[in-house]
Amino acid sequence: MWPLRRRFRTARLEVRGSTFEWGSRTYVMGIINVTPDSFSGDGIGDDPGRAVALAREFETAGADILDLGGESSRPGAEPLQPEEEWRRVLPALEAVRAATDLPLSIDTYHSAVAEAALRAGADIVNDIHGLRADPAMAETVARYGAALVAMHNQRGREFHDVVGDIRAGFSESLGLAEAAGIDLGRIVLDPGFGFGWTPEQNLEMLRRLPELWDVEMPLLVGTSRKSTIGLVLDAPVEERFEGTAASIAASIAAGADIVRVHDVREMVRVARVTDAIVRGNWRQR
């Protein structure tokens, strides 16, 4: 079983009273899109009440982390100014923080939004540019002692090889983190499924995920409802449930430690059964 061969630089991560024991099981991050234009059709707009209701639903369903974002990251989406992004996301984040003790992640690549969210009670910064978009982001994460999800984003970058390009991106992000004084034991790496890759390259990424084990850091994979699944199934976004489940199971078998999903209740169950198979883990949460 792959967990017996997997090694980590740091065995665990402590976030707001939650302990993430890497290699013990798969953790589930639930997506709360505080946007009107999410690609997945689940954007709830800037309504704190709807955000709280979804957060409570996800917590009951078994989510380990809640990830709030105010800007759509779909290809072609209009970039937001930081002021507009935090206007959208902060009221929802503050309301969710008051409603749950789960670790909260802010999905942003703007340091100003990250800082405002961390002040409001966020615990994790989920940066789809891996600290490379905003020169102040690394220092902000370090100053607050936040955990970090650093994603490799292939958009606008020359392609050479799927794993080689991911490794190069990880190296850049980790270099920026180390220079800013971020504890590397508080970093999770995301290879960036759906961000600048062809469908074939996305699928290759999942097949070759074990080639990234030697970075000895936890990996997050986010395939939920994405267009590659739609192309494989010839299905619109609302009909990608089974394809998402298959990709989540494959990702876990290939080494994902966290999966980022829209359908929390169902994907928690997928993760538990997959863990029982690949990790021999029958432990109930």
- 5 in active site: no
Which of these is catalytic: 226, 240, 272, 279?
226
Q: Which of 249, 127, 110 is nearest to 188 (CA)?
A: 127
Strand partners for 22 = none
| Residue at token pair 């009107």 | 36
Q: 97, 260, 272, 279: which is the annotated catalytic residue? A: 260
CA distances from 52 to 43, 252, 254, 283 (A): 14, 29, 33, 29
Question: Catalytic: 226?
Answer: yes
Q: Which residues are the active-site residues? A: 226, 260
